[in-house]
Amino acid sequence: MGVMIDGAWHAQEPESGGKNGAFERPETSFRNWITADGSAGPTGTDGFTAEPGRYHLYICHACPWAHRAMIFRALKGLEDVISVSVVHWIMADHGWTFEPGEGVIPDPVANADYLYEVYRRADANFSGRITVPVLWDLQRDTIVSNESSEIIRMLNSAFDAFAGNPDLDLYPEALRAEIEPINERIYHTLNNGVYRSGFARSQESYSAAVTELFDTLDWLEELLTTRRYLVGTQQTEADWRLFTTLLRFDPVYHGHFKCNIRRLIDYPNLWNYTRDLYQTPGVTSTIDHTHIKRHYYGSHESVNPTRIVPVGPAIDFTAPHNRAHMKDAA
């Protein structure tokens, strides 16, 4: 994946595997918050006031973390408020790049060839991984945040004065006590669990990760027996944090990352639920299935040395689902 050390790019990342060959995801580096009035958020500094045209989002269509941000941007109606650049699907010796390709949108900030140049523009001595999404402040010429879970909360509420859908609240205060523990379990065992399975360096760590992953899928299948969405009849951020992993499960994670005890389509409730979310107006505009498959199979040489991209599976996300009639029985 590569890493920056003191502002210099290194194509080979130093060994940093976890205990017993387990994959460990590093912490994100930029944790400021955009707020409606520019006051400081839970972390970082103040001065990042929500304004139309001031912020720019860097994403990769393949990345589930970046996909969250694109979904929130679309659902809230912020397409004309926050501009976007899209990196190339292949992550190789230079990490994420703006190499020309179908669906790539170049960097308008610094005309960068590589995303690490954007990070270096924000911090000349930056050390860490170069990840997406990145939320950039065009006025202050720096990175606001590269933490997806916090970016989606900014998009959910900070820009309501300019949003096309300001009344949509995907993190309502009344449901937060239910949302948080669901987020926590799904993040560790499923969102990150697919990576813990796919990048495990020992049988022990792989077996532990994939077992936890399917325990969570089994739990979700049962949970969705009586409720349309994870906390009832209303979509929340918990659904969209889960969705970006489920969307990629059968096309990528089942085979590429060896998450193959069962397929998503083998779970009736989860599969109908995934199609329900997929068919939410505005969501399909954020999805690029070609980028998703080309990235995973073409970028992870240690997992797929031939870099051959499979033709299948054939999946119809547009087939009718059976969720619209459901009531919350919780």
Q: CA 129 to CA 106: how far, in whole Å?
A: 21
Print burial letters for 71-90: b (CB count within 10 Å at least 16), e (below 16). bbbbbbbbeebbbebbbbbb
At residue 325, the 3 state secondary structure works out as coil
Q: Inter-axis angle of helices 237-248 and 64-75, to 10 degrees?
A: 130
CATH architecture of the domain covering 173-280: Up-down Bundle (1.20)
Tally: H helices and E strands in the chain: 10, 6
Q: Round to the nearest angstrom and report the end-to-end CA distance of the chain.
A: 43
Alpha helical stretches, state H, 28-167: 64-75, 115-122, 148-157
Block residue for tokens 């972390």: 43
Average pLDDT, the chain: 95
pLDDT digit string, tens, across residues 151-176: 999 999 999 999 999 999 999 999 99
Nearest to 283 by CA among 76, 81, 136: 76
Provide the residue ranges of all domains of the chain, joining segments of one domain with +: 3-157, 173-280
For 70-128, the pLDDT digits (tens) are 999 999 999 999 999 999 999 999 999 999 999 999 999 999 999 999 999 999 999 99
The 10s digit of each residue's pLDDT in 180-193 is 999 999 999 999 99
User: If 0-12 CB within 10 Å is exposed, 13-18 middle and 19+ buried, where does residue 225 land?
Assistant: exposed
Q: pTM, whole model, 2 decimals?
A: 0.95
Whether cis (ω within 30° of 0) applies to the bond prior to 64 is no
> Percent of the chain, pLDDT > 70?
95
User: Is it true that domain 3-157 has CATH number 3.40.50.300?
Assistant: no
pLDDT of residue 18: 60
How confident is the model over 1-11, as a mean pLDDT? 93
Annotated active-site residue 63? The verdict is yes
Which is the catalytic residue, given 55, 58, 60, 63? Answer: 63
Residue with tokens 């919780």: 330
Candidate list 171, 187, 195, 278, residue with the active-site label = 195
Instruction: Let me know: does 230 contact 182? Beta carbons within 8 Å.
Output: yes
What average pLDDT does range 270-278 have in this prediction?
A: 98
Residue 19 to residue 237: CA distance in whole angstroms: 31
